[in-house]
Amino acid sequence: MTDAALPSLSQTPSRSRAKGPWSLGKTALGLAGLAIFLLLWEAAPGFGLISPLLLPPPSSLPGAFWRDLQSGAWHEAMFASLSHYLLGLALGSGLGVGLGVWAGVSPQFEAATSYIVRILRPIPGLAWVPFAIIWFGVSTGGATFIVAVGVFWINFFAAVAAVQAVDRDLIEVADAFGHRSIRAKLAKIILPAAAPGILGGLRTGLGQAWMAVVAAELFGVPGLGQRMMQASSLLATEIVVVYMLTIAALYGLCDYLFVLWRDALLKWKP
């Protein structure tokens, strides 16, 4: 930092001056990297390095996307997946946070569930697919179940840890000012204090849940995953890529909206 040698009028302006052009430069560099990546991708089949069937060039994607838009297949798959995603997420996160908070405040409940947790927790979410199919069939219910299982544990453990880490001294403040019931303590101290940790768990779940959605749909529940399987069996790889990018975009959007909401909730944080 050459600025350090300047007369120390003010440190903040010099830092923001240094940051402005650099952050622009970073954006430019990122875009350049992306352009080179797309060019290499486009050129690879041309050089005969790989068959366009195995790796569809980026230029084939807009057309494929347009065709699925026209036929309505894209909307249908997208909304189906989104509903699996949101339902499963709400169910898994709600139960995970709820039971996690309970285990966090009640040592009895934590002890009573400790062995159940130890047995169930290591089971990968996808290992539940056979039961999902038996219980719910190849249906929205089955997909929702897989997604819910996929995010439950993340939220459960995040909530337990966040609640157990709440500063005892602050809980004492509630006691000192007459808020002695567990309900009052939850509302006034525990939940706000644990919110950063709980929201961190929820955000991790947002990513995990897309994995579970696609996995559940690969088994035939209508949605983005199923459309990808259909396309790949027809070797329509450009359609597969279109849906891969659709998932990336949906995840990005969900995460972006979630972060906006989280930052609004946590605006008290320094």
Residues forming the site for other proteins (CB under 8 A): 169-170, 172-179, 184, 188-189, 192-193, 195, 266, 268-270
Minimum distance, C-beta of residue 192 to other proteins, in the bound complex (Å) = 4
Residue 207 one-letter amino acid: G
Main-chain dihedrals φ then ψ at residue 223, nearest 5 degrees: 155, -170
Question: Which are the contacts of 124, defined by CB distance < 8 A and separation ≥ 6?
Answer: none
Which residue, among 64, 25, 87, has the nearest Cα to 239 in the 3D structure?
A: 64
Q: Which is nearer to other proteins, 154 or 189 (CB)?
A: 189
Q: Which is nearer to other proteins, 59 or 181 (CB)?
A: 181
Q: Which is nearer to other proteins, 184 or 250 (CB)?
A: 184
Minimum distance, C-beta of residue 168 to other proteins, in the bound complex (Å) = 11
Residue 215 near residue 225 (C-beta atoms within 8 A): yes
Minimum distance, C-beta of residue 199 to other proteins, in the bound complex (Å) = 12
Minimum distance, C-beta of residue 124 to other proteins, in the bound complex (Å) = 36
Q: Which is nearer to other proteins, 189 or 214 (CB)?
A: 189
Q: Which is nearer to other proteins, 67 or 262 (CB)?
A: 262
Q: Which is nearer to other proteins, 67 or 179 (CB)?
A: 179
Residue 213 CA to residue 234 CA, distance in Å, equals 22
Minimum distance, C-beta of residue 169 to other proteins, in the bound complex (Å) = 6
Minimum distance, C-beta of residue 111 to other proteins, in the bound complex (Å) = 22
Minimum distance, C-beta of residue 178 to other proteins, in the bound complex (Å) = 5
Q: Which is nearer to other proteins, 11 or 181 (CB)?
A: 181
How far CA 70 is from CA of 76, 134, 236, 256, in Å, comes to: 11, 35, 17, 28
